[in-house]
Amino acid sequence: MVKNIIIYPVKSLGGRSKHLWEATSIGFKHDRQWLLVDENNNFITQREIPRLSLFSCDIVGDNVEVSFQNQKISWPIDQRGKNKQTVKIWDDQAIVVDVDLRLDAFFSDILETKVFLLKQDSSVSRQHFVTTKNKNINVNLADGYPYLVLGTSSMNLINSKLEKPIDFNRFRPNIVIETHEAHEEDFYKSAKIGDTLFENVKPCARCQIINVDPYQGIFLKEPIKTLSKYRKFDHKIYFGTNMMCTKSGIISVGDPVTLL
pLDDT in tens, 153-190: 999 999 999 999 999 999 999 999 999 999 999 999 99
In a domain, 151, yes or no: yes
Q: Is the four-CA dihedral 99, 104, 110, 115 of positive or negative sign? A: positive
* Domain membership flag for residue 259: no
pLDDT digits (tens, 9 = 90+) for 44-68: 999 999 999 999 999 999 999 999 9
How many domains are there within the chain?
A: 1
- Residue 94: pLDDT band by 50, 70, 90 thresholds? very high
Kindly state whether residue 258 falls inside one of the protein's structural domains. no
Output the pLDDT for position 18: 98
**Is 207 a member of any domain?**
yes
Q: Is residue 153 part of a domain?
A: yes
pLDDT tens digits for range 202-243:
999 999 999 999 999 999 999 999 999 999 999 999 999 999
State the average pLDDT over residues 92-106. Answer: 97
220/229 Cα distance (integer angstroms): 17
Alpha-carbon gap, residue 3 to 153, rounded angstroms: 12
- pLDDT given for residue 60 in this prediction: 97
Give a yes or no: residue 257 inside a domain: no
Q: Answer whether 122's CB lies under 8 Å from 141's CB.
A: no
Say if 100 falls within a structural domain.
Answer: yes
Share of the chain above pLDDT 70, in %: 100
Q: What is the pLDDT of residues 129-145, one digit of tens each?
A: 999 999 999 999 999 99
Q: Is residue 23 part of a domain?
A: yes
What's residue 257's pLDDT? 98
Please state the pTM of the whole predicted model.
0.96
Residues 6+ apart with CB under 8 A from 85: 41, 95, 96, 97, 98, 118
Q: Residue range 98-119: average pLDDT? A: 98
pLDDT of residue 251: 98
**Domain ranges, residue 225:** 2-251
Res. 9 pLDDT band, cuts 50 70 90 = very high
Give the model's pLDDT for residue 31: 98
